[in-house]
Chain A
């Protein structure tokens, strides 16, 4: 009998035998119907265990972006240009980085327009609290 791929425990998936697979290798996004997905924020969606939302690629990172709320102007550049849907922004406010999904590409830092930047790359092993302490000062505009 094919196992219910909408509800299977993540740990069990890798041990499934051929006889437990869904014919055609179809994968489902959600455990239960979601009538209007654009109305449901990610944190409220009934993700099936087979949705990569439930997975993580954070270990790909060498460096991580750290977010400094004090400097942020909520411009949303980091949100729109993040390739990995790893900038958590709600109600037009930048909240932080979803480290489970962030691959550490650094685009968010590059596109951040504040001075000093509100997002900066720090070594993966460094504590975010520590990173915030080391935040650089405002850069003076170079005179030509």
Chain B
């Protein structure tokens, strides 16, 4: 059942199912994303979380910060965990063996929403196999990647989501290095190419866009992938109060474009239409340099010998933005 959210005031009527006094860093985007996702629906939610900051900070014995059922198994298996909970739910529903309170919800048309949260390490890297498998199998669940582009939980090591030029603890900038050497991979397209009915990229700073996409994701049957920008005060090294501003800089510079890919499928799962929609278009695209300058993880790029990496960044972002616009125009 879709929750009606016309504006932020209406959204603020939501009763959170995620609790404070968890142990996440002050100013952490993960928490903001989790709140926005959970508050996007009034249906019951069941959560699986990969090992990572969110997991180690919200279920530290003897306290839980979750008012929904929650499971953590390992680093690499949040997708299969959520997918199998979804499968178990469907078996029990078919057999008529759901717990009474759950059955009551189902009877009211409020089926539980099953959501996996994982960081980019648990998604782009170690959890990719489990994620790919679960999407190929088509389970009915939502996977939200909290993408802070680094292994924040273990102390800031590079992941395959770390963007070029970022200084991390395993790709540090130094006398002869500008930091991370690789471009990050495009998880949104990779997951869309699994044939998932709905895939989107979001930023917590654009809360309405995020909530709308999550709601769309909850409405389709099948696996849904949401790639959420998650500015990390500790590893991006910006001040905690600047989390939303840094996120916005990412969106407004098109470093973090907000878009969705919809694979429309017939009853046999055959895709008859793929559409990419850009859901937010900056009024005036700001230079990437401003985004980079806001984050000390890129500080060294402003040295003369590394300026070319900033130019490279701008080129890459422009090319990508162009690509997205062309796809949108072409309706593919």
Contact = CB atoms under 8 A, between A and B. Distances in A.
Q: Do A and B share a direct contact in the complex (Cβ within 8 angstroms)?
A: yes
Interface of A: 5, 13, 25, 27-30, 33-42, 45, 50-57, 60, 74-77, 79-86, 89, 91-92, 98, 100-107, 109-111
A81 B20 contact: no
Contacts of B303: none
A80 B11 contact: yes
A18 B101 CA distance: 32
Given A107-B27, A110-B245, A84 B15 contact: no
A77 B9 CA distance: 9
Interface-central residue, B15, B20, B28, B31, by most chain A CB under 10 Å:
B20
Interface string B42-58: 10000000000000001
B33 to A, nearest CB: 9
Contact of B32 (A83, A89, A103): A83
Given A74-B9, A84-B26, A84-B31, 9 more contacts: A27-B62, A30-B67, A35-B104, A37-B67, A51-B63, A53-B20, A79-B12, A86-B20, A106-B241
B67 A29 contact: yes
B11 A107 contact: no
A39 B15 contact: yes
Interface of B: 8-32, 35-36, 42, 58-59, 61-68, 101, 104-105, 204-205, 207, 233, 239-245
Contacts of A83: 24, 26-32, 35, 243
Contacts of B29: 83
A17 to B, nearest CB: 13
Contact of B101 (A28, A35, A74, A111): A35
Contacts of B61: 25, 27
